[in-house]
Structure 1
Amino acid sequence: MATARSGLRRKIWVAFILQAAAISFAAVLGVYGASAVLKHVLIQRALQEEATHYWQRLASDAQAQVPDTYNMTGFLVPAGGSQAALPEKLRPLDVGFHALSRAEGGSLVLVERDRNGHMLYLLFKQEQVDSLAFWFGVTPLAIVLVVIYVIAWSTYRTSKRAVSPVIWLAGQVQRWDPKHPEASALRPENLPVDVEGETLVLASSLHDFASRIESFVERERDFTRDASHELRTPLTVIRVAGDMMESDENLSPLSRRALKRIQGAGRDMEALIEAFLILAREGDTGLPDDDFAVSSVVEEEVEKARVLVATKPVELRLVKEDDFHLHAPARVLSVLLSNLLRNACHYTDEGSVTVYLRRGSIAVADTGVGMTPDELARVFEPFYRGGDRKKDGQGIGLSIVQRLSQRYGWPVRLESEARKGTVATISFPLLPPMA
């Protein structure tokens, strides 16, 4: 909740800070530009006009005095006259505008020569320029920045109050348990008084949505509970009846073959029901996590699969190169491995089906019909059947394998070549060795 609550507020705060900083930067640039204009345009123009005015006065009065005020000082060097009376810092200056350094007095200087060869030097004090720049630049800038910051802070407070209902709503939703969303907090009578407009519509929609989720979760829970009991009961009856019929020595060969098909279909149906019930549960399978040796599950599933190849010239064997432990529902691994074994046995009419148990992986290799590259690319699609399509099957075994492997993080890799067989490998994250 803290992340959701601070995230939106922080973004708004950062947005206003950046906005105020950008406006401040633009204002500073504006004042700096104004200062440059003041120094290099207005003052230069004033000096130019002052020089023009002096030349006019000198033309009408040969004894006209050069400007000498608090801010401006003038010097005149007659044509061919000596520069002895001229300050040393001005002597090397050519005609035009010049800016003296602070060490030289920091003045702006205009040097002009009239048509008679007289040289006029006009100096404007830099201190006065800086003072003008301060009073006509920095002071208004400070006032403008204060106004900007006050407006930005007021706008931020207003925006914060405007988004507070959204932040409250995000906090309520973040506290929800996905399996048991508490929609009661979003009932109209429980909403804060400041929740209105679009936020009210959103809260109402979320309340309706959460109520529907609750009903869906309850329906899923009822279905898996009822299906677990109701679907297994008739299959148990069929399996027991089949075992009793199998013990009858008077069965004809035709009846015994039919009985084998019934028993095989029953086993397939039991495995499918088990897989569907696991996949039907959202997230939690309802099965306990155990620390178990993988070899115990593999050995059990290999023994169960022997009946699938009992009537075919196929050797089913287990090669245990290493063993390791998992922390997961053992039943999930049983369902996953049984589907791979059933698929391998189903599509292998002669040769072998070999299960390799290695450190961190289980591989099921067969010498069956195999698959082409095009079939291999589609093998995980539901109801798609590669290889020999004349064989019985639902085409969903490998789809179930993929969905279970994705849920538990056990990636499955298939390698196959037409008429040479298939290798399915399950990889597992390893637990540290048990004490």
Structure 2
Amino acid sequence: MPHGLPRKIRIAFILQMVMASLAIVVAFYVVAILFKYSFIQNTLQEEAQHYWQLYDASPAQPPPNTYNLRGYLVEAGYSSLSLPPDLRELRPGFHDLEQQGQLVWVDRRQAGTLYLVFLRSQATRMALWFAVLPAMLTLLAIYGATWLTYRSSQRLVSPVAWLARQVGRWDPRRPDVTELAPELLPADVQGEARQLAQALHGLGERVQAHIARERNFTRHASHELRTPLTVIRMASDVMLAGDELPPRVARGLQRIQRAGRDMEAVVDAFLILAREPDVAPQSEWFQVCEVVHQEADNARLLLGDKPVVVEVDCLQQPMLYAPPRVLHVVLGNLLRNACHYTDRGRVRVTVDETQVVVSDTGIGMTPEILASAFEPFFRGVPERPHGTGLGLAIVRRLCERFGWRVELESVQDAGTTASIHFAPVRGDTQQVPGAVPPA
């Protein structure tokens, strides 16, 4: 986990130490400079004032001459040639003679001029003891406190990091929650981390149970739903084989067969949607126009006596690699909608190399209705009794499942156009469910 919580905490502590170190180094550097130029200057001023007090009491008082401080006095009316050459031209005030390694305070009074010289080496040594050494000790104290805080934080975060690693190894489709069982949790996983682990363990078990139920339902539903449909189809085939069936009965049996085939297609489509996306459905190459003609025949029967004509225009003869019943469901829903909402005129299905277009001259849709047309249970014209509002939602889900793109265009009182764009095969021989072969 390259960007996990422990790494972020480690980076935060490192940045904290670096920033604190820089701040302390800069602060003590400033302190060292101030020590040299402010503390030493004040010290020399006080030494000069103290000397003049002693001089007023006794003019024979010699200038200061110690290990750190040297003093020179030029009394009024006397030449400054007795001074070292570097001090002769100095005016009253503080001077930093860097080349000579001296800090000089010149104090002029009526009795004469006093020169106090402090060696820079002594000032540097004192700054080391009073500024740099405390800075080093402070830095060491900060490093030690930061390290202890980091180790404590690492111990607090380690259960969460362990839990994140366990969850990160889960397969979303088959989460293995064994390691999060309460009896298998490490001893350091306590408090909120233990509660979270137990909650995830319970959630994972529920997900596993849900996946198992879904798989069992898909497996059993595939068998249980197909069995009665097969019986209905076979029974209708036997009845249609008779020689003396009245035309009305024959038409009814044919409608039963078509409804049974439609129901089988819907069951197959629902089972495909219920499976995992990475489970490839059973696909085959088939002629798109054959499916279009079959669904157009069903739509003509649905129209009854309506003054509406269903036309099929196959500009090309494309092949499609997919479950044929899926395209039956998609086209069947689009054609049923077109027939339900077209009171007169025509419904046309146009097929070319990569798409199927269903257009009608029906009542059309407003922009507001068109924006919600694919939502489940949405019905643009509730007063019309046809449908439950699931047809277009199923169409979109099936198209997304096979990489198709479905589009709707509509003008109110002028009609609606629905387009299904198929995905091309990637490569020369690769068979991708839902794709058409390359041109």
Would you say same fold, with TM above 0.5?
yes
Q: CA separation in 2, counterparts of 1:397 and 1:236? A: 24
Match of 1:205 in 2: 199
Local SS of the residue matching 1:69: coil
1:59 and 2:80 equivalent?
no
SS in 2 for 1:17: helix
Distance 1:72 1:42 in 2: 14
**How big is the shift at 1:223?**
1.2
Identity %: 47
Match for residue 246 of structure 2? 250
The Cα offsets for residues 14-34 of structure 1, whole Å up to 9 and x where unpaired, read as 232223223323332342243
The equivalent position to 2:127 in structure 1, one of 124, 128, 133, is 133
Aligned equivalents of 1:245 and 1:209: distance in 2? 53
TM-score (norm 2): 0.80
Does residue 32 in structure 1 map to residue 29 in structure 2? yes
Q: Describe the shift of the 1:258–1:143 C-alpha distance in structure 2 as closer, same or farther (beyond 3 A).
A: same
C-alpha distance in structure 2 between counterparts of 1:81 and 1:168, whole Å: 86
Matched, 1:423 2:417: yes
Q: Find the aligned partners of 1:95 and 1:428 in 2 and give their Cα distance.
A: 96
Counterpart pick for 2:66 among 65, 69, 75: 69
Runs of at least 5 residues in structure 1 that lack an aligned partner in the other structure: none
Q: Does 1:23 align with 2:20?
A: yes
Contact residue 297 and residue 334 of structure 1 kept, 8 A: no
Cα distance in 1 for residues equivalent to 2:92 and 2:20: 41
CA contact 2:265–2:326 (8 Å) conserved in 1: no
Equivalent residue in structure 1 for 2:288, among 268, 275, 298 = 298
Post-superposition offset of 1:318 = 2.8
Q: Secondary structure at the match of 2:247?
A: coil
- Partners in 2 of 1:403 and 1:10 — Cα distance? 42
Q: 1:277 aligns with which of 254, 271, 275?
A: 271
Q: SS at 2:4's partner residue?
A: helix
The amino acid of 2:68's aligned partner reads N
From 342, 345, 354, give the equivalent of 1:350.
Answer: 345
Q: 1:393 to 1:325 in 2, by over 3 A?
A: closer
2:311 counterpart residue number: 315
1:133-152 alignment runs, 5 A limit: 133-152=127-146
Q: Does 1:225 align with 2:219?
A: yes
Which deviates the most, 53-62 or 90-99? 90-99
Q: Which amino acid aligns with 1:202?
A: L
Alpha-carbon RMSD: 3.6
Contact 1:274–1:335 (CA<8 Å) still a contact in 2? no
Displacement, 1:370?
Answer: 2.0
How far apart are 1:46 and its partner, in Å? 0.6
Q: Distance in 1 between matches of 2:100 and 2:425?
A: 81
In 2, the alpha carbon distance for the partners of 1:27 and 1:35 equals 12
Q: Evaluate the alpha carbon distance shift between residue 18 and residue 411 of structure 1 in structure 2; reply closer, same or farther with a 3 A threshold.
A: farther
- The alignment partner of 2:209 has SS state of helix
The CA deviation string for residues 109-140 of structure 1, in whole angstroms up to 9 with x for no partner, is: 333333x3844333322222221222233333
Q: CA deviation at 1:319?
A: 3.0
* One-letter amino acid matched to 2:268: E
What letter corresponds to residue 225 of structure 1 in structure 2? R
Change in Cα spacing, 1:143 to 1:325, as seen in structure 2 (3 Å) is: farther
Shift of residue 190 of structure 1? 2.6
Distance between the aligned counterparts of 1:405 and 1:324, measured in 2? 17
How far residue 358 of structure 1 moved from its aligned partner, in angstroms, is: 4.7
Deviations 1:41-92 (A, max 9, x none): 3222111101211222333334443333332233445557655455555566
CA distance in 2: counterparts of 1:11 and 1:354, whole angstroms: 59
Q: Which residue of 2 aligns with 1:168?
A: 162
CA contact (8 A) 2:104 2:115 kept: yes
1:129-174 deviation digits (Å, cap 9, x = unpaired): 2212222333333333334334433443343344333333333333
Q: Retained in 1: the 8 A contact 2:5–2:161?
A: yes
Closer, same or farther in 2 for the Cα pair 1:45/1:375, shift >3 Å? same
Deviation at residue 375 of structure 1 after TM alignment:
0.7
After superposition, residues 362-381 of structure 1 pair within 5 angstroms as: 362-381=356-375
Distance 1:81 1:175 in 2: 93
Find the counterpart in structure 2 of residue 195 from structure 1. Answer: 189
Give the 3-state SS of the residue equivalent to 1:419 in structure 2: coil
CA distance in 1, matches of 2:48, 2:319: 100
1:318-340 Cα deviation digits (max 9, x unpaired): 3339x6977x7676566445544
Aligned-partner SS, 1:375:
helix
Count of residue correspondences: 420
Letter in 1 for 2:380: G
Map 1:371-410 → 2, pairs under 5 A = 371-386=365-380, 390=384, 392-407=386-401, 410=404
Determine if contact 1:314/1:350 at 8 Å carries over to the other structure: no
The one-letter code of the counterpart of 1:110 is W
On the 8 A contact 2:287/2:319 being kept in 1, the answer is: no
SS where residue 233 of structure 1 aligns?
Answer: helix
Amino acid at match of 2:350: V
Deviation at 1:243, TM superposition (A): 6.1
